[in-house]
Structures are given as C-alpha cells and as structure tokens.
Amino acid sequence: MSLSRMARRTRLGVLAPCCALLIASCSVASGPAATTALSDASPGTTNATSSASERSALKPIDPAAFRSAVDAAARKLLVPGAMVLLRTPQGTYEAKVGATGLAGHTPPDAGTHFRIASNTKTMTSALIMLLAQDGRLHLGDPVSAYVPDVPGGKHITIADLLKMRSGLYDYTNAPELAATLDADPAKAWTPQEVLAIAFRHPPEFPPDASYEYCNTNYALLGLIAEKAGGRPLAQQFQDRLFGPLGLRQTSLPAADDASMPDRFSHGYMYGGSSYALVDKPYPPELQAAARTGKLPPVDYTHQNPSYATAAISTADDLSTWIRALVSGKVLNSTYQREWLHSLRPEDPKAPDGQQYGYGIAYQRFGPNAAMYYHGGELPGFNSFIGHDPDNDVTLAIWTNLTLSPDGRTTAIALLPTVLDEIYAGLSLPPAPAPTTTR
C-alpha cells in the first residue's frame, strides 16, 4: 500500500538504526507463536543455496529465533494477530502470532484471508500494463480520452496516474469520507462517487510536477482499465492475473459485498476511520486507554471497502503474486523493462531514497539488499509485500490491527525485525519511507 501518512509515521529509510535496538528489545518471546520451516528446495540444491547465501549476504535463518523476534515485536505493538511469510533460497518460513479474532483462539496462517487494501494497486497497474501491451491503450494517453470531467484531464497522462504524479486531490483526505464510513459502514461506493469527492477540491500541483501518493489516481485507473478492456475490473483481474497465476484465494469483491471468505481474520483499529485515512495522530488519552486495555479496538472487518477498490487475499497468494510480478511472469520482456524502469525518486533531494513507479515502490536497505514492494492499509488491516530479485527473497506481512496505540502502522513496524533476521549487514539509509499503503 502506499500511504503518504504511513510514510510520515514509519519511514523505511530510517529503520536501519533502529533494527539492532528493536531486535535487542524483542529478544524474549512473550507468548505462543508458531514458525515453520518448510523446505521448498529440490534435491541437489544444497550447494546452490549455500553459495547463493554467501553471494547475497543472507543470514542463515533459525526458525525459533525468527519466531521469537516476530512474536515479541508484534506483541509490543498490541496486535491481536499477525502473519509473516518468508521465502528464501534456504526454504519457506512462517511466523504466526496471536489469533484471527479477539473472541477466538484460531491462529493465523498463510491461508487466512484478509483485506489487502492498496496492495491491490500492484494488480491495477499490472492490468494497465497488460492493456498497453495489447495495444488497447498507451501510457501517454490523456485521462480525458477515457474518463470525462477530470480537472486538467487533457494534461494528465495514464503514466502520471500510475506514478502518483497527477497532482489531483486525494479523496481519502476529505473529512466527509471518513464521516460517511463511520455513519454508514455498509455503504457501497462507486468509483464515480469517490472521484466526485476528489474533484470538489482543486489540484495540489500541475501534472508531473511532483510526487504525492493519491488514491484518486487508482480510482481513475480502474475506470480506464474497464473502458480499455471492455469488461469489469474484477473479471479482468480474474482472467488475466488471478487465474493464470493460480491465485485461487484472491478476489475483488463486488461493491455491495462486505463479507469475507471462510478462514478469515477479523480486523481492528482504535478510534474512527479517519485515523486510517489521514495523518491524524491518536490523542494522548486514547493512547493511554488503549495501552491499559480500557479502550478495546473497534472491529472493522465488515466495513464495506468498496471506496478503496480493495481486494481480499492470503499471505500465500500475495507472496506468489509479488514474486511473479517482479520476476517477469506477468508482462512480456518489453513491458517488464518499462515497468521496472518507471521508478523515480519520491523526493528529488534524496535520489538514493525510496522510489515509486508504475504501482510499485523500491528501496535499497543494504549493500546487497533491495526490494520492490507495496503495502496496504485500511481500517482493520495493515500489510506489506515485497520481493528482492537479487537474493530471491519474498516477504508478506499482515496484521489485524491498523495502528498501534502510539500510531505506528503495524505491519511496517515489524519490518526492521523481519529484515534483520534475513540480511547480514542491514543498513537503511536516511530517506523517505514507503508511501505505499493506503
């Protein structure tokens, strides 16, 4: 997901100095968690794994230490449940913390369904690239050729939308959206309704003049994909992405469907929806009440997420998805190169910091470690997916609490712990962090 508010709350670029301290403070597990090492190496790959580990500076992963670190870090964030799925040349590792609901004792696993929020943007952008690959659209086309009445739409290109450089107002910043979500959680939203909210506000800057994470861009891209592809977005996702890659547990629900598939996690958050939609800090009294247990989190599981066009998936499916996308199994070689080369620094003053391209972010956090990634955040859930092609590392993290009492996005807050278990010589340069969540 990529949320500008997440970037301000938890910066990937400044995680490195915290890693050692965070791990040290989490050295003792405070409750039951399960980590499983599942070997996915074929016979005769031991030497290859060893040499790959040396070449990539991957640490040998101790399942018990991995479990202990994730468990302790997650419990400090007060998350009811968390799931970390890690795939490396050494094997597959699962760290499970807590339960999928406050009222039950079912632990999460790699097949537990959750709302992936802005990780859906990686799918929307991939579909747009496929449609360009088919010749049904061109990335330099103006938005006005597909969607009428967009402010400045003749000067905003599809590429501007993909890269978060349109300058349009982000509808999730509008107070009336959060107010409506809290007053009518079951409301089914159309893209036209959320765009109407955005278009009541003037643009933030001229097209391509700057970067700003903006959900309005991807609401427009969904409509463009439907017009160019001639079919509903959900059907195109299924036919062109989920089906071919075997993502059987991933779906884009209908706008009026707020249900969850069997074996799902509930999702929780303290306070109203606005805390997940804008950079609004928790007041001290709310933080104190949450920490002491006097304020229980609100169950947002069945709040209708149609305002965000958010898919449902599992850690297993998302790991398969992000690895396939980054490794070139979705696009042909020409469009894969264009997709990879779309990255631009979010902050021109930090050219080596976080970059954002066509629905994907990228950051280097060590001499031999870097990831293409995205994140997701909405009321009830926070998540992160990433793939490091140089070291063949794939990571999926989800939590069922959006924000910790001190206001950290919980899946992103687990990243320093997880990365420190994977890589030797971890070093995250001071730079903007993932604006990749909401």
At residue 81, the 3 state secondary structure works out as strand
User: Residue 436 pLDDT more than 80?
Assistant: no
Residues 312-336: pLDDT tens digits? 999 999 999 999 999 999 999 999 9
Q: Give me the residue label for tokens 């089914």.
A: 188
Confidence at 16, pLDDT banded by 50, 70, 90: very low
pLDDT of residue 140: 98
CA distance 363 to 373: 8
| Average pLDDT score over residue span 405-430 | 86
Nearest Cα residue to 340 out of 319, 355, 353, 321 = 355
CA distance 384 to 117: 10
Angle (CA) 102-85-30 rounded to 5° is 50
Confidence at 366, pLDDT banded by 50, 70, 90: confident
Number of structural domains in the chain: 1
User: Residue 378: beta bridge partners?
Assistant: 381
Q: Strands, DSSP E only, in 14-122?
A: 33-38, 81-88, 91-98, 114-117
Q: From residue 248, give the alpha-carbon distance in Å to each of 165, 238, 318, 331, 364.
A: 33, 9, 11, 20, 32
Question: How does the average pLDDT of the chain come out, rounded?
Answer: 87
| Average pLDDT score over residue span 137-154 | 98
Q: Which residues contact 293 (CB under 8 A, 6 or more apart)?
A: none
User: Residue 31 pLDDT more than 90?
Assistant: no
pLDDT of residue 7: 41
pLDDT of residue 56: 55
Residue 281 lies in a domain: yes
pLDDT of residue 55: 55
Residue 218 lies in a domain: yes
Residue 431 lies in a domain: no
Residue 287 lies in a domain: yes
User: Residue 269: beta bridge partners?
Assistant: 298
At residue 403, the 3 state secondary structure works out as strand
Confidence at 104, pLDDT banded by 50, 70, 90: confident
User: Residue 43 pLDDT more than 60?
Assistant: no
Residue 434 lies in a domain: no
User: Residue 5 pLDDT more than 50?
Assistant: no
Residues 250-270: pLDDT tens digits? 999 999 999 999 999 999 999
Confidence at 44, pLDDT banded by 50, 70, 90: very low
Helix (H) or strand (E) holding 68: helix 63-76
278 in Cβ contact with 5 (< 8 Å): yes
Confidence at 57, pLDDT banded by 50, 70, 90: confident
Q: What is the DSSP letter of 362?
A: E
- CATH number of the domain to which 99 belongs: 3.40.710.10
User: Residue 151 pLDDT more than 90?
Assistant: yes
Angle (CA) 25-370-126 rounded to 5° is 120
Residue 433 lies in a domain: no
Q: Which residues contact 209 (CB under 8 A, 6 or more apart)?
A: 165, 167
User: Among residues of the chain, what percentage have pLDDT more than 70?
Assistant: 84
Side chain identity at 208, as an amino acid letter? D
Residue 206 lies in a domain: yes
pLDDT of residue 424: 87
Token readout for 146 is 């597909």
Residue 427 lies in a domain: no
User: Residue 427 pLDDT more than 70?
Assistant: no
CA distance 290 to 187: 28
Token readout for 191 is 């893209």
The pTM of the full predicted model, rounded to 2 decimals, is 0.88
Token readout for 155 is 């000067």
Q: What is the DSSP letter of 89?
A: T
CA distance 339 to 209: 20
Question: What is the span of the domain harbouring residue 162?
Answer: 4-422
Q: Strands, DSSP E only, in 71-230?
A: 81-88, 91-98, 114-117
